[in-house]
Structure 1
Amino acid sequence: MDTQLALTLVNTVRVIRRTRGRVRDVLRSPEGLRDWLDQVHERWPMFPTDAVPADTATADRLVEVRQALRALFAHAVAPDPPSAPDAHELPDLDVALATVNQVLREAEVTPHLVWPGDGEPDLHWSVPVDLDERSRAIASLTWVATRFLAGPAREQLRACPAPLCVLYFVKEHHRQQWCSSACGNRARVSRYYYGRRESDTVEEPVS
C-alpha cells in the first residue's frame, strides 16, 4: 500500500500530450481534486478522503505536501535526473523535510506496531479523533508516503525518462526502464524519429 499510495499522490502532476507537453495539476481543479479523493477512498477505504471537502484550502495544503514529496522523490533518484517539468519549482531538501514533518507533528500522527500471530509485523498509525477530516486525510497520506521513502522500495524508485512523461515509478524487474509499456514504445519511436532526422541532415562528403 505504501508504494502505490505514495506514487498516486506524487503523480498527480500530469502532462497533456495534445498540448505539446503542458503540465496539468490534477489537484488544482475542484472536479479533479474530488475525483482523485474519491479514487483514493475507493482503492483504500481506510482513508476518509470521501469526507474531505474539494475546496481551495484542501488543494493548497495537499499541493504543498505533494510538492515537498516530489522534492524528496527527486532527491531519492539522484544522481539520475528527476521528473523534469516542475523540477525547477520544487522546494529544497530542508524545506521539503520541514513541510512533511510539520504535517505529521501538527496532526499528532502516532505510529504503533501491529504483529498478527500468523503474519508479518507492520507499523500502523493513529490521529486524534477530534481532528478535522481534511487534516486527518492529509496527515495519513503523508505518513504513508514517508513510510515508502524510509523503506527498501525507495531504492527502486525512478523518474520515467520517456518523452512527455512526468511520472515516478518503482522498478519491478531489472530490465524495466519506463513506467509503462506505452512510454517504452513512445521512447523507442522518438529515438527512431530523431535518429532518422540526424542521418538525413548529414552532409555528403565533397569529392
Structure 2
Amino acid sequence: MEDSLSRDARLVLDLALTLRRDGHGGIADDLTDPAGLTAWVRAHPEALPGGVDFTADEAALTAVRDLRAAVRALFARAVRPGEPSPADADRLLPVPEALHRLNTAAAGTPTVPVLHWADDAEPDVRHRAVQGGGDLAAALAHTAIAFLAGPDRRRLRACRAPRCARYFLERHPRQEWCEPSCGNRARVARRHERHRTSV
C-alpha cells in the first residue's frame, strides 16, 4: 500500500524523514545547509514544480526546517495513543505552536478555488496555488495539511525499533516497524534484554 501513496503523501513523509537516526546512536539531518535542501528538492521534481532548477538559500532552509519540526510534532500527535518517534520524544514542539507554524507557512501561497466535476461523481472544490505565488515552505505546508487532513493520516505510525526515527504508513494492522531490518533489530534487542535480565 505504501507504494500506492499519493505524490503529496510521499512528499510529506519524505520531508519528515530528512531527520533520522544515523546508525551510531545519533540523529542525521539531511537539511543541515542550503546544499542539502537543494539536493532534497531536486530529488522530488515530480512533486515540486520548478524543483529541478531550485537552489536553496539560508532563508528557505530555515523555513523548511521550521516546517519539518511542525510536521514531525503533528505526526507525533497523529500516532497517539502510540509513542512518537524516539528522535522526537524529547524535543517536540507544542501542538498549538506546530499548528501555527504550519498554517503560517501555508499562508505564503495564495490559492484559488477550482471546481472539479467528473461525470460519475459529486462536484468537488479543490484549492490550487496561484501561478507564481508563494514559496517552497508554503508548497510543502499545503502538502502537509492535505496529508494530515486526509485518510492516510490514520495509517501513520512511528517505528518502534531501537535507533529508528522514521514514521511510516501501516500496511497491515500488526505492523510495528518501517522496514524488516528494523523488525530484526527490535527482536534482537528484546532477546538481548531478556538474556541480560535473566543472568
TM-score by length of 2: 0.86
More helix per residue: 1
Higher mean C-alpha deviation, range 61-70 or range 81-90: 81-90
2:3: which partner in 1?
A: none
Whether the 8 Å CA contact 1:109–1:139 is kept in 2: the answer is no
Structure 1 residue 9 corresponds to structure 2 residue 11: no
- Tell me, which stretches of 5 or more residues in structure 2 are unaligned? 1-5
Whether the 8 Å CA contact 2:72–2:88 is kept in 1: the answer is no
Q: How many residues align?
A: 193
Structure 1 residue 29 corresponds to structure 2 residue 26: no
1:96: which partner in 2?
A: 98
Shift of 1:82: 0.5
Indicate the RMSD between aligned Cα atoms, in angstroms. Answer: 2.2
Identity %: 38
Whether the 8 Å CA contact 2:19–2:165 is kept in 1: the answer is yes
Whether the 8 Å CA contact 1:47–1:137 is kept in 2: the answer is no
Q: Partner amino acid for 1:59?
A: L
Structure 1 residue 105 corresponds to structure 2 residue 111: no
Of 52, 55, 71 in structure 2, the residue corresponding to residue 53 of structure 1 is 55
Partner-residue secondary structure (3-state), 1:27: coil
Q: Residues of 1 paired with 2:120 and 2:33: CA distance?
A: 45
Whether the 8 Å CA contact 1:52–1:137 is kept in 2: the answer is no
Q: Residues of 1 paired with 2:35 and 2:124: CA distance?
A: 35
Q: Residues of 1 paired with 2:140 and 2:96: CA distance?
A: 20
- Tell me, which stretches of 5 or more residues in structure 1 are unaligned? 201-207
Matches within 5 A, 1:120-139: 124-131=126-133, 135-139=134-138
